[in-house]
Chain A
Amino acid sequence: MNVQTDTKLQSFLSGFEGVRENAIQNEAWDALQYLDFPTTRDEYWKYTRISKIANAKLSSGKASNTILDLEKHLLSDQFVIIENGIFRADLSSFDLSKVNVKVESTDTLVQTTANMDELFQAMNTALAEQTLFISIPKKQVWETPVQVIYITTENQIMSNTRLVFESEDFAEGHVITTFINEGNSQSLSNHYTEVLVAENAHLKLDKIQVGNGWHVATENVWQDGNSTFKINTMTLKGDIVRNNLNIEVAGENCETFLNGAVITKENQLVDNHSFVNHLVSNCMSDENYKYVLDGKSTGVFNGRVVVQPDAQKINAYQQNGNVLLSDFAKINSKPELEIYADDVKCSHGSTTGQLDEDALFYLQARGISKDKARKILVSAFVGEVLQSLDNEKVLAYVNQVLFDEFGWTEM
């Protein structure tokens, strides 16, 4: 007897077409036939239950032809709008003489660093219709950041968005990605980014997650020698948010900065998995993530740093600080340092606590209400990470969201 057991993934994918013209997409689609949604039995997903996503009936999104009012989200005069996974040329505005931005059909995909054994990367590779390329030519320094706004406007869709942020030698540039959802919270934004930081290049990526619903984002970053890469991940909204940040430091004298702020309430679940792989000597990485969790929300921090054999003189720092504002909020913090070289400096620390009661009373004793005093203390706590947003407009935007969503005021 032949028993056909459909996996959750197969039923999830039944609404999507996966047959493409190119080999990479076919490979990704084939991989999906063997993959399934992870469960909490998988170590990589131990604290993050995504059965809500797995059980959802989603379809692929389409761009509308309506005008979207995105004024308040605009942080640069060079911007690209992607609606429900599709490029909106009519709403985007960038000057090709200043920035090199183009959108291509993923049918023409010739190479990727996506890991086809990982569900969300494989799904993105198989299903993304378009890829956005932001490419900085040799020695070019872009003064203006390029902002990409990913907006969901439909309900029950999965959008697969794909970004390649690449540079040639000595290039410098800054990309801001903003994720918004104006549909209901039963949508999945599955975003995939490849970053190539060439020799002596300096790239920065700000990732501002302010959309409701489900959001999975993966960045695969490659750093060549003498380069600097900085990523700031600000997660201020989202029912389930999972970030997979993978950085391969492949050249010497690199600097890598990973900053993250997570502010949650209600039943949110925000999971940051980062992986810094030091392949060679003489590099520095500095990671700092802070979580402020309220309501019944859950945070997950998993920071993996590997120093490969012979990757000597590595300085790797990792810090994760958490404040729980309610008795029902939860944090799972797991630093993972694997060091196979013997001449390295690595440190990690994880702290979790409530707000400092003495500080709270001190502020109250000066006439500040308890509610306001709490807000002052939490914003001071994440302030250190927010300061890493050295672009003033981005910082002001984040502060505005914190004010609108949580009533915070900057101190």
Chain B
Amino acid sequence: MSKTLLNIENLHAEIEDKQILKGLNLKVNAGEIHAIMGPNGAGKSTLASVLSGRDGYEMTEGKVDFDGTDLMELDPDERAKEGLFLAFQYPVEIPGVSNINFLRTALNEIREYRKEEPVSAKEFMTMVRERSQIVELDSKLASRSVNVGFSGGEKKRNEIFQMAMLEPKLAILDETDSGLDIDALRIVAAGVNKLKNENNAVVLITHYQRLLDYIKPDFVHVLADGKIIKTGGPELALELEEKGYDWLTK
């Protein structure tokens, strides 16, 4: 049996004293792709925020084990250093910080944490060249300020490019498909499929089934009112597409 990367038990979380997650359980093993679907306001993005450690999102009960470490004890950067990656729903624009320098800093901080040698300039540039191709990201964009002047699709491709550079154990893609036209969606999905292997795992958070035509999940979970209320295979997504969520939440 493959290794468990993420084990969420009875997770309760709140933001500004409002209870959003109410006893969520989820287990993700290496080599798996999980899709978390659900109606608006179910807590999908809250789950991504809690796991990545965003300020203001507080766990009130439960336990999250990430490949043997207690995830909730870690600062956001330490979670990333342990191998967690969040592809943002709304990637942030950072004027004055070059995409490349930022990534190199991130990569070297991660390497230092893992007691590995820093990446050489040459090695790094080779990585950039190869991995920007995975998502067909113009290498000119790589040297611009982080996300500044990027189109919506370019921002999302940049997220996957960063994922390719940082090689996480677990990637959470928060509504990465939202706002993408079909071409951009195909590129992003192909990128994710290329990066996927038996040692890592992907959690797709999405509102629509469309993305799952391109990235085949092993499991589909329905998140409603702060809990996972149903789990199935890819066929569940199709059923949800057809029937909506009402039949499950009634």
Contact = CB atoms under 8 A, between A and B. Distances in A.
Contacts of B77: 364-370, 373
A357 B76 CA distance: 13
B178 to A, nearest CB: 17
A367 B52 contact: no
28 contacts: A357-B55, A361-B55, A361-B92, A362-B88, A362-B92, A362-B94, A362-B146, A364-B53, A364-B76, A365-B52, A365-B53, A365-B79, A365-B86, A366-B102, A366-B106, A367-B81, A367-B110, A368-B105, A369-B109, A370-B75, A370-B77, A376-B105, A377-B94, A380-B97, A380-B145, A381-B96, A409-B105, A411-B98
B149 interface: no
B162 A376 contact: no
A370 B101 CA distance: 17
B97 A377 contact: yes
A379 B101 CA distance: 13
A57 interface: no
B156 to A, nearest CB: 14
A411 B102 contact: yes
Interface in B156-174: 162, 166
B166 A366 contact: yes
B96 A411 contact: yes
Nearest to B145: A380
Q: State which size class the interface on A falls in.
A: 20 to 34
B106 A368 contact: yes
A366 B162 contact: yes
A364 B76 CA distance: 6
A372 interface: yes
B230 interface: no
B80 interface: yes
A373 B106 CA distance: 10
B95 interface: yes
Given A359-B92, A366-B80, 6 more contacts: A361-B55, A362-B146, A366-B102, A367-B110, A368-B105, A384-B96
B91 interface: yes
Contact of A368 (B54, B86, B88, B109): B109
Interface in A121-170: none
Nearest to B94: A359
Q: State which size class the interface on B falls in.
A: 20 to 34
Interface in A350-402: 356-359, 361-370, 372-373, 376-377, 379-381, 383-384
A373 B109 CA distance: 11
B16 to A, nearest CB: 15
User: Considering residues B94, B98, B145, which has the most beta carbons from chain A within 10 angstroms of its beta carbon?
Assistant: B94
Nearest to A364: B76
A411 B166 contact: no
A376 B97 contact: yes
User: Considering residues A357, A367, A409, which has the most beta carbons from chain B within 10 angstroms of its beta carbon?
Assistant: A367
A361 to B, nearest CB: 6
B80 A411 contact: no
Contacts of B162: 366
A107 B92 CA distance: 61
A381 B80 CA distance: 25
A363 B102 contact: yes
Contacts of B95: 380
B97 to A, nearest CB: 5
Contacts of A367: 77, 80-81, 106-107, 109-110, 113, 166
Q: Which 3 A-B pairs have the closest CB atoms?
A: A380-B96, A367-B80, A364-B76
A156 to B, nearest CB: 41
A384 B145 CA distance: 12
User: Considering residues B75, B86, B95, B98, which has the most beta carbons from chain A within 10 angstroms of its beta carbon?
Assistant: B95
A372 B109 contact: yes
A383 B85 CA distance: 28
A373 B101 CA distance: 12
Contacts of A363: 94, 97, 102, 106
Contacts of A377: 94, 97
Interface string B93-119: 111111001110111011001000000
A372 B85 CA distance: 19
A220 B142 CA distance: 44
A358 B91 CA distance: 9
Contacts of B53: 364-365
A376 B109 CA distance: 13
Contacts of B54: 361
Interface in A326-364: 356-359, 361-364
Contacts of B103: 366
A362 B109 CA distance: 15
A150 B90 CA distance: 50
B109 A361 contact: no
Contacts of A365: 52-53, 76-77, 79-80, 85-86, 88
Contact of A411 (B81, B88, B97): B97
